[in-house]
Chain A
Amino acid sequence: MAISPTEVRPEPASFRDPANRVFHVGDEVLRGLDPQAAAHWRALTGSTFFPALVAARKVCATEDAPPTLVPAATGTPWAAVLRHERIPFVSHPYEWSFSMLRDAALLHLEILTAALGEGFTTKDGSAYNLQWRGAQPVFIDIGSFEPMRDGEPWAGYRQFCQTVLYPLMLTAHLGVDFQPWLRARVDGIEADELRPLFNGARRLRPGVLTHLHLHGAMQHRNAAASTTEVRDQLRAAGFSRELLLATVRGIEKLVGKLDRRPPESHWSDYQRTCGYSARDRVAKEQFVAVAVAAGTRPRLVLDLGANDGRYSRLAAGHADYVVAVEQDPTVVDELYRQLRSEGQRRILPLVLDLADPSPGGGWRGVERAGFAERASADVVLALAVVHHLAIGRNVPLPEVIDWLAGLTAPGGAVVVEFVHPEDPMATRLLANKPAGLFPDYRRDAFETLLAARGRITDRLELPSGTRTLYRTVMGG
């Protein structure tokens, strides 16, 4: 689908705060501001904390743009228009691992604290305020900053609990993966939904009694009171900025304490147990490196079933950005921690089941774009993963290849490893299914399907003789 370079496309995820709205024009990300938001923006640029956060790359780089660039909904032009730095690949909190959500949370609180120090606040507290540059979180919602009013608590606290704190507690305290919960609810987990799980001695886990139970009870008791009324009452009772800072510090301490207890994961030990001979590994690495570097430098590489990210790192040597997709949250968390310690800015690890990728979510199912919609890569790596889909999940081979083609940008390449049915790993998967269920799972059938959808430019059978690698230019 060709997009004309000047077509203005409103960002479907940006409508909740009418004071500002994000648009895409070609490759540019622009934000229109109403008069009040524009005044807040000017105040922000005059502060010391904001430019410092941008310089530290903790907030996405933003500059003024001509106000004529995007039309306002009302017909009267926006008071100001901003141009944002482009985030290489947009992801959603339910695609992040535990440590990713926690680091994103800590950054949000750090930014809030810095803002409060200079009389600003953030008007919301959503996990969706953050995105990633590789393994570095970045705050993107510039429209969220506004001058604080003394004597008022943080308006974003409830949202922070629902989209950040409760998901973290679920995993840290109960060992339950938060991703499916967040994916199911665009506004996050309600206190009432979580409270029944934190009964008995679990009430005593850090943060549970106050931020969950007391908070939930208070919500019920004050359901009829308007927030305006309560704000006035709190101000009259002496709620101060110092108190607000102490509260935020408390939340920060709590979040820093939450840790995941990693369950035994079958896949975390994969590289040791995968059964590749040294010769196979060298040949595979060489093939993949050459295949990624073959065409024009890829802007985006997708590594499907990335495991410990070995091939993502390899690809990052020849591409602008790599998204490493993996179903196992524990494996992704380990990969993330490693990438973070290396200061990696060009590999983004994500939790995603390829057989059940993120669908569109939120309002009309477009507020949070589905994975297929976001994924358009110049190179798609599918290394030792096709058998998991074709045998493990019963996806017909032609479907698997159509799907790979769909993830590839026009003229892009798929680098795929086919594990022959005789290979020990494939045999193991086949042993769990009735004999003869997959008569078409053969190398020649796979190759025919591949050739029908693209041009196979390179082919290599690994020395062990049970795996073959292909580079295919799709549609070519």
Chain B
Amino acid sequence: MEHLAYLDAGSGSLIVQAVVGGVAGAAVAAKLYWRRLVDRFRRQPTDQR
């Protein structure tokens, strides 16, 4: 379900909370960025067609 809060939490402000959450948080952030990277590479071939 899509959830929208009345307050714009700010995308960067959400991610940075993982980064400041110690080792476990850094792992979450790393995973998020890794997935974004992988997604980009996966998408690229289709983009070039």
Q: Which residues of A are interface residues toward B (Cβ below 8 A)?
A: 16-19, 123-124, 149, 152-159, 161, 210-211, 214-223, 225-231, 233-234, 236-240, 242-244, 246-247, 250-251
Contact = CB atoms under 8 A, between A and B. Distances in A.
Interface class of chain B by DSSP:
helix
Given A226-B11, A228-B4, A246-B25, A236 B35 contact: yes
Given A123-B6, A156-B7, A237-B32, A210 B13 contact: no
B31 to A, nearest CB: 4
A170 to B, nearest CB: 19
Nearest to B24: A243
Contact of A227 (B11, B22, B36): B11
B12 interface: yes
Interface class of chain A by DSSP:
helix
Given A211-B20, A234-B18, 14 more contacts: A123-B6, A153-B18, A158-B9, A219-B12, A222-B11, A222-B12, A225-B11, A227-B9, A230-B11, A230-B14, A233-B36, A234-B15, A237-B29, A251-B20
Contacts of B31: 237-238
A238 B24 CA distance: 9
10 contacts: A16-B6, A16-B7, A211-B20, A214-B16, A215-B13, A217-B12, A219-B11, A240-B24, A243-B24, A243-B28
Contacts of A210: 16, 19-20
Contact of B22 (A18, A211, A250): A250
A17 B3 CA distance: 15
B30 to A, nearest CB: 8
B12 A215 contact: yes
Contact of B28 (A221, A228, A230, A237): A237
Nearest to A152: B14
B48 to A, nearest CB: 22
Contacts, number: 123
Contacts of A238: 27-28, 31
Contacts of A244: 17, 21
Given A237-B28, A237-B35, A250-B22, A159 B15 contact: no
Contacts of A223: 11-12
Given A16-B6, A18-B6, A237-B35, A243 B25 contact: yes
A348 B9 CA distance: 32
A227 B17 CA distance: 13
A216 B19 CA distance: 13
Given A16-B6, A123-B5, A237-B35, A243 B13 contact: no
B12 A234 contact: no
Contacts of B36: 233
Given A155-B5, A227-B9, A228-B2, A243 B16 contact: no
B32 to A, nearest CB: 4
A218 B20 contact: no
A218 B12 contact: yes
B12 to A, nearest CB: 3
Contacts of A124: 7
